[in-house]
Chains A and B, each alone.
Chain A
Amino acid sequence: MLKDEEFLFFQKPGRYIGKEWNSVYKNPEGKKRFLIVYPDIYEVGMSSLAIILLYHLINERDDSLCERLFSPGLDLEEYLLKNDIPLFSIETRTAVKNFDIIGFSLQSQLNFTNVLDILNLSQINIFSKERKGFPIIIAGGPVALNPAPFSPFIDGFVIGEGEEVVEEILDNFKLDRNEYLNKLNEIEGVYIPEFGKKIVNKRVIWDFENSFFPEKLLVPYIQTIHDRAVVEIFRGCDRGCRFCISGMEKRPRRERSVDKILEISEKVLKNTGYEEISLLSLSTSDYKRIDELLIKLKERLKDKKITISLPSLRIDNFSLKLLDLIDTGRKVTLTFAPEGGTEKIRNIMNKPIKDDEILNVIKEANFKGYKKIKLYFLIGVPYEDYDDIYGIAELINKIKDENKLIKLSLSINPFIPKPFTPFQWEKFISKDEFIKKIKIIKEGIKNVNLSYRGWEESFIEAIISRGDEQISELIYEAYLEGEKFSNWKENFHFETWEKILKEKKFKSVDKISNGFLTDEELPWDFINIGIDKKFLLEEREKSKNCEITKPCFMDFEKCSNCGVCFNLNDSKNRI
C-alpha cells in the first residue's frame, strides 16, 4: 500500500487522498463492500451526480459500505505497474480485488478502454468468463444501454436508473459467485451476459419526488469540473428531439415539487458550504413552475450570497427571462443548441425553432449585455442536404450582422446515430462528406470562432454506440495497443483504431456505418427502455416529412404514445 507521502511524487495528489468533507469511512467488518468506479480522472468523476448519489445511498445502509475509485493518472499507473502494487480505493486504500462488488458508471463509449485498464491494474481478469469468485463486476449508466460491445468484460449490466436496483443488488448478496449471479439475473433491470439474452426492462424511479437525494454531498478538496452544489429538479425530457438518446432513455419526465427542491437546496448548501447551486435537468427551462422556483430560491438564499446557475437552457426568450430572474449580474457565455441551420432540418430533428426565434433571442441577449454566445450544431443528420449546411453559415452571418459586437463561437459535432432513438437505423456521415461540409461552413463565415469535433473519434464512438459483441474485440485490441482516456482528444489515436478495423474486418462495422434496415434485429433489441419500436419508426417517418411531435407536457391531451408510461409502469397510468 502506498504511504501518504509517496503521493507527493504524482501530479495532483489531492486526487487520491480522500478525506473530503462528507466522505464516509466505515469499518468493513461484516459489511458488503461496494466500490463505485468512474473510469476517468477524479476531477471528471467527482462531477458526476450518479457517482455521488449512489455513494451516499449505499453508505446509508448499515449492512454495506461504498468506497470510490477513479482512473489513476498515467504517472501513478506507471508506478503501480513497475512496483506490482494492485490498484486501490480512495477511502481506505483497499485493493480493488478485495471488494465484493465493483460498479462502473459508463458515461462515454470512448473511455471504456479505461475500464479494462482499471481491471488490469487491479490484478483482476479482464474477461468475465475467466473470473472466479469475487469481486462481481457490474456496469450501468447511459452507455450500458447497449451492453453488447462490453459484454465479455462485465458480469452484470444495470439498465436504467440505479437507486432502487442497487439496493436489490445488495439485498440479494450471496457468498457464492454463481449463486449470486443467478440471484442477480432475477432482478428486474439486470442483465447477466453469461446467462444469455432475455428481455431486460429498464428501471425507473416512479416516485421521483421522494426518491433519495444526498443532502450531505461530498465536497472535493481539489477543483473539479462542476465544483458546486447540485439539485436535480426533474428527470427525463419529453421534448422528443429525434437525435437525442437522453431524451428517449430517461423518459418519462418526472418533476420534484418546488417545496421539495427548496428543502433539498437549503440542506445541501448548509451541509456543503458551496457558494453556487446548479438546478440540474436535461432542459431546466422546461420545469413547469420554474419562475416560482427561482423567485422562492433566490429569496431564501439572498443573505447567503449564493449564485444560482441554470444549465441546459433552451434557445428562447423565456430562458433570458429566467436569467433576469436569477439576476447574478454576471454575464456568462450563453450556450444554445439550435442543432440545425434551417427550419427544415430542425423540424426533421423535432427541435422546431424558427430562425426568427434564434435571431431575436440573440439580439435580446446582446441588448442585455451577454456578449459571448456559443452555438452548437450537428452535421450529418438524416435527410440533411447542402442547403442545410449553407443554412448554418447564413444563420451565423445574420447573427453577426445584427450583433456586430458579440463574440460568437460555433461548435460543430458530427451526428452520431444512437440506439433507442428514431434515428437508430441511420448511417454515420462519411469522412469526405464531413470534410466537405465543414469546408462550406468555414468558407461561409467570418469573424466567428469555429471548433468542431473530429470525424475520427466520432466514427469510433458511432461504431461502439451501435456495436454488437464483435466490437468488444475492437475495444480489447485498442486497449492492448495502449489506448486510454481516448475521450480526451490528445489521447485518441485514430491510427490505432483504424489499424485494428483493417486487420479484423469486423462484419458489423459496415452495417453500423451505413445504417441498419428497419426490419432487422438490432444488437440492443432485447433491452426494453419502455419506448415502443413502433413509436420510433413513426417518428422516423414523420422526420422524413418534417413533421413535428409535440412534447406531452405541452399538450397532455395529445399523448404521442411513445409507450414508456404503460410499458414499464405496473400501475399502467400515465404520469
Chain B
Amino acid sequence: MIVRIEYKKTNSLIFISTLDIERLWERILRRADLNLKYTEGYNPKVVKDFSPAIPLGVFSESEIIDFIIIEDLEIDYVLSKIKKVSPFDLFIKRGKVINEKFASLSSLTTHIEVEIAGEKVKNLNFKELELEKNIDGKLKVIELNRFIFKESENENGKMLILDSKVSLKDIMNKLNKMGLDFIITKKNNLNLQNDKLISIFDLN
C-alpha cells in the first residue's frame, strides 16, 4: 500500500537541507520497523517520494512524503509507529493510504502557498519585486510578478500562492538585500486542475 504523510518542518529542522531530510526519513522509516519496499541495487533504499525541496531557513507546515509498505495495515497504526521514532521537530500532521501513484509529488506540485511574515513585509507589493539570479556568472533580473498566482495579506504579513518554479531562495536573498526581517513558512503544496487549486495531500 502507498502511504502519504503530511508533516511539519519546524525549529531545528529548518537548518537541515532537503538531502539530509530525505536521509532522516530513510532512518525514521527503518526505525519504525515496517515492512517497507526498497529499491533494487547495491545500496537498497526505502522507495519514497517527496514534495518539492525548500531552502534552509524556511519553515513548513506542509511537507509530503509517499512510501510503500508491502502489507495492508491500518493508517493509524502506521502513523503511531512513525510518530514514536520521529524527532520532536518533525511533527506528523496526518496520513492516508493512496490507491495509485500517477506522478511524482514534485511534478504534481504546480503551486506552493507561502506566508511571508514580518512587519515591513505587510507594506510590500510583491508583484513589483525584481529578483536577481546569477546564471553562469551573469546577473539576470526576473520579475516576481510572473510567478505570483495570488497575493493577499494576513495578520503576520503576506500570503502568496506562487508557481512552484519560483526559487524561494531568490526571494529570501531579495528580502535580505532590502534589509527586511521576515520568516517564510510554506503552508501548502498545490495542484492546479481546471482553474482550481487542490492540496497535493488530497489528490488520489
Contacts and interface: CB of A to CB of B under 8 A. Distances in A.
A223 B31 contact: no
A94 B107 CA distance: 44
Contacts of A329: 41-42
A13 B28 CA distance: 22
Interface stretch (B13-21, B126-134, B139-147, B152-160): B13-21
Contact of A305 (B19, B24, B44): B44
Nearest to A219: B27
Contacts of A7: 15
A272 to B, nearest CB: 7
B45 interface: yes
Contacts of A272: 27, 31
A50 B7 CA distance: 35
A218 B13 CA distance: 16
Contact of A8 (B13, B31, B33, B57): B57
B27 A273 contact: yes
B85 A273 contact: yes
Contacts of B19: 223
A4 interface: yes
A13 B13 CA distance: 10
Interface stretch (A14-22, A254-262, A347-355): A14-22
Interface in A256-311: 269-276, 304-305, 307
A222 interface: yes
Which of B12, B15, B45 has the largest number of chain A CB atoms within 10 A? B15
Which of B30, B42, B45 has the largest number of chain A CB atoms within 10 A? B30
A14 B26 contact: no
Interface string B85-109: 1011100000000000000000000
Contacts of B27: 21, 219, 272-275
Given A14-B17, A19-B12, A330 B42 contact: yes
B56 interface: yes
Interface residues of B, number: 30
A273 B16 contact: no
Interface in B3-51: 11-13, 15-17, 19-20, 23-24, 26-31, 33, 38, 41-45
Contacts of B38: 305
B23 A223 contact: yes
A102 to B, nearest CB: 24
Contacts of B43: 275-276, 307, 328, 330
A520 interface: no
A468 to B, nearest CB: 44
A275 B30 CA distance: 8
A168 B15 CA distance: 38
Nearest to A15: B15
Contacts of A274: 27, 30
Contacts, number: 74
Nearest to A19: B12
B15 A17 contact: yes
Nearest to A303: B35
B57 A14 contact: no
A270 B27 CA distance: 10
Given A13-B56, A14-B16, A305-B38, A19 B89 contact: yes
A115 B24 CA distance: 31
A221 interface: yes
A304 B12 contact: no
Contacts of A275: 26-27, 30, 43-45
Given A17-B15, A21-B87, A221 B20 contact: yes
Interface residues of A, number: 30
Contacts of A21: 27, 87
A453 to B, nearest CB: 30
A570 interface: no
Contacts of B89: 19
A275 B38 CA distance: 11
A19 B20 CA distance: 14
B87 A304 contact: no
A132 B196 CA distance: 70
A275 to B, nearest CB: 6
A276 B42 CA distance: 12
Contacts of B31: 270-273
B84 to A, nearest CB: 12
Nearest to B43: A307
Given A270-B33, A329-B42, A223 B88 contact: no
A342 to B, nearest CB: 37
Interface string A492-516: 0000000000000000000000000
A5 interface: yes
Contacts of A13: 15, 56
A5 B118 CA distance: 14
A7 B11 CA distance: 12
Interface in A316-342: 328-330
Interface string A384-427: 00000000000000000000000000000000000000000000
Contact of B57 (A5, A276, A330): A5
Nearest to A304: B30
Given A14-B17, A222-B16, A19 B88 contact: yes
Nearest to A276: B43
Given A18-B12, A21-B87, A273 B26 contact: yes
B27 to A, nearest CB: 3
A275 B36 CA distance: 13
B12 A4 contact: yes
A404 B136 CA distance: 40
Contacts of A8: 15, 56-57
A221 B42 contact: no
B42 A328 contact: yes
A330 B41 CA distance: 8
A5 B12 CA distance: 9
A542 B20 CA distance: 52
Contacts of B28: 273
B44 to A, nearest CB: 4
Contacts of B26: 273, 275
Contacts of B41: 329
Contacts of B88: 19
Contacts of B15: 4, 7-8, 13-14, 17, 221
Given A221-B20, A273-B28, 12 more contacts: A4-B11, A8-B15, A14-B15, A14-B17, A222-B17, A227-B23, A272-B31, A273-B26, A273-B30, A275-B30, A305-B38, A305-B44
Interface of A: 4-5, 7-8, 13-14, 17-21, 219, 221-223, 227, 269-276, 304-305, 307, 328-330
22 contacts: A4-B15, A5-B57, A13-B15, A14-B16, A19-B88, A219-B27, A221-B15, A223-B23, A270-B31, A273-B28, A273-B29, A273-B30, A273-B85, A274-B27, A275-B43, A275-B44, A304-B30, A305-B38, A305-B44, A328-B42, A328-B43, A329-B41
Q: Which 10 A-B pairs have the closest CB atoms?
A: A273-B27, A330-B42, A273-B31, A273-B30, A305-B44, A13-B15, A19-B12, A8-B57, A305-B38, A17-B12
